[in-house]
Amino acid sequence: MYSEMKSALQKPTRKYTYREVDESEVVSALEDIFVIRPQTLRNICKHFVDELTLGLKEDGHTLKMIPSYVSHRPTGKETGSYLALDLGGTNFRVCEVYLEGDSKVRLTQKKFTIPDYAKCGQSDVLFDFLADSVLTFITENHIPTESDIPLGFTFSFPVNQTAIDKGYLMVWTKGFDCKDTINKDVVALLNEALARKNVKVHVTALVNDTVGTLMSHAYNDPGTFVGVILGTGTNAAYVEKVSAIPKWKGGPVESGEMIINCEWGAFDNERVVLPFNKYDQKMDEESTNPGEQTFEKMISGMYLGEIVRQVIVELVQRRILFGGVSSPEIETPYKFETAYMSRIERDHTSDLLDTKMVLQELLNIPYPAPRDRRIVRRICELVATRAARLSAVGVAAVVTKMERVEDGCTVAIDGSVYEHYPHFGNRMKDALHELLGMFEENVNIVLGKDGSSVGAGVIAALA
Ligand code: ADP
Ligand code: MG
């Protein structure tokens, strides 16, 4: 029965018109491809813990497990005013962070959009753009610049960090591709750009957004041991014992602990445990970094909409959806945004009228029938649920690695996917329960809003 349903989908056949393929057959075949069962979750989690351990042992493994040079968590008593710059992937923000000393923070910020020409051109173009934005911000906010202002730079790409204010870019991700930045110290690049523009600001700390999120939340909750990003990309950082980091060659660390940036987006680039399917593969092949960031590509905001689009395009080609009628928009890579999925999953009208609006007005599908809208909604649900469940695997693996399953801890999560995608948190919680049983209750997952920016201020204060 099941195999018949599947073959109905798999045959690129002219014999079937879309009317002949029953909605439930289409849906069950997709479920077969996208649903991750509890046993598979557990297998992935086990492999994840092994990979975390391996990455701490020596360089050259899939998980880079980068020591952040942040070895003290905040007390909540730190005070002062710091500049922070947060380059995440989609959003770029310049902020002034005021630490009030009683675990409270005030934040003034301005968002900028990074133009495409700056993402993939010469390094100097990108860093000049960043420096110009800092200048705009301090001018607009009348920030006095008699003395050099310390700035925490949240730079959320894999860097080989060699000091709190030094880090060499290993590889671009999330659609960035300025070739001449690779192997350069991004702090020096930003300081040089600031000097070129005569901006009296000096970078004192280089921060990964995951580390920032952890530190920012730890400023008011000392039980915070993990910071996670679920935004354009995905990644996590956690508190590790220095004695458990064999590759650490940086000398004794007073606190005995070090925050590790896992760079977990690269998990399973070997593709041995993740159920990376034909739609994922197609998206991957057409991406700027094929073969890389496998875990990230199944989870984060940059890719979820594109996976949904790949499924839709295939179903249209097979005349299973929209009567086989496509549109230039739906044929365009990345045109189906992850935010559309959020909107579609929030559509509780009986005829899925908002889904119809998205399909007709944003994607130019002439007549999406109610049946088609239901299928599209189900595709979104399947892709997003898989993402949430895989995110939970990452969290469970890190908590297991820290041996905090029984004692518990707070996991702070920042990023638009976690913040805005409906049910994302609950779907994660369900999967965590499948993985940890009753211990799931010990893992306190919270939204660490603005953590990646505020954390840069907190770390600048500690530096
Ligand atoms: P960054 O990763 O640049 O720090 P965000 O955390 O805001 O920025 O994440 C941006 C990503 O979140 C985008 O890739 C976008 O696809 C996704 N996104 C934006 N709005 C929504 C939404 N309403 N629902 C789900 N995802 C969203
Ligand atoms: Mg961010």
Residue by residue, DSSP assigns 86-109 as EE-SSEEEEEEEEEESSS-EEEEE
DSSP structure class, residue 267: T
Give pLDDT, residue 18: 44
The whole-model pTM stands at: 0.93
Give pLDDT, residue 146: 78
Atom of ligand 1 nearest to the CA of 209: 4
Question: Whose CA is closest to 379, among 299, 304, 445, 268?
Answer: 304
Choosing from 174, 356, 401, 449, which is the catalytic residue?
Answer: 174
Instruction: Note whether 99 and 457 are within 8 A (CB).
Output: yes
* Residue ranges of domains in the chain, CATH in brackets: 1-68+221-449 (3.40.367.20), 70-207 (3.30.420.40)
**Protein residue closest via CA to atom 17 of ligand 1:** 301
**Protein residue closest via CA to atom 16 of ligand 1:** 301
> What is the 396 CA–ligand 2 centroid distance (Å)?
22
Atom of ligand 1 nearest to the CA of 156: 4
> What is the 185 CA–ligand 2 centroid distance (Å)?
21
Rounded Cα–Cα distance for residues 96 and 450 (Å): 12
Give pLDDT, residue 144: 86
Q: Cβ contacts of residue 347 below 8 Å, gap of 6+?
A: 353, 354, 355, 377
Choosing from 165, 209, 280, 414, which is the catalytic residue?
Answer: 209
Rounded Cα–Cα distance for residues 204 and 200 (Å): 13
Ligand with smallest separation from the Cα of 387: 1
Chunked in runs of 10, what are the mean pLDDT values of the chain (463 residues)?
A: 53 49 94 98 98 97 96 94 90 93 94 92 96 96 86 94 95 91 97 94 95 96 97 97 96 96 98 98 96 98 98 96 96 98 96 97 96 97 98 98 98 97 98 98 96 93 87
**Protein residue closest via CA to atom 21 of ligand 1:** 339
Rounded Cα–Cα distance for residues 397 and 391 (Å): 10
Give pLDDT, residue 435: 98
3 state SS of 245: coil
- pLDDT single digits (tens) 322-350: 999 999 999 999 999 999 999 999 999 99
> What is the 335 CA–ligand 2 centroid distance (Å)?
21
Rounded Cα–Cα distance for residues 264 and 244 (Å): 18
Mark whether 209 is an active-site residue.
yes
Instruction: Note whether 338 and 350 are within 8 A (CB).
Output: no
Give pLDDT, residue 284: 98
> What is the 415 CA–ligand 2 centroid distance (Å)?
5
- pLDDT single digits (tens) 202-244: 999 999 999 999 999 999 999 999 999 999 999 999 999 999 9
Give pLDDT, residue 393: 98
Give pLDDT, residue 15: 47
**Protein residue closest via CA to atom 15 of ligand 1:** 301
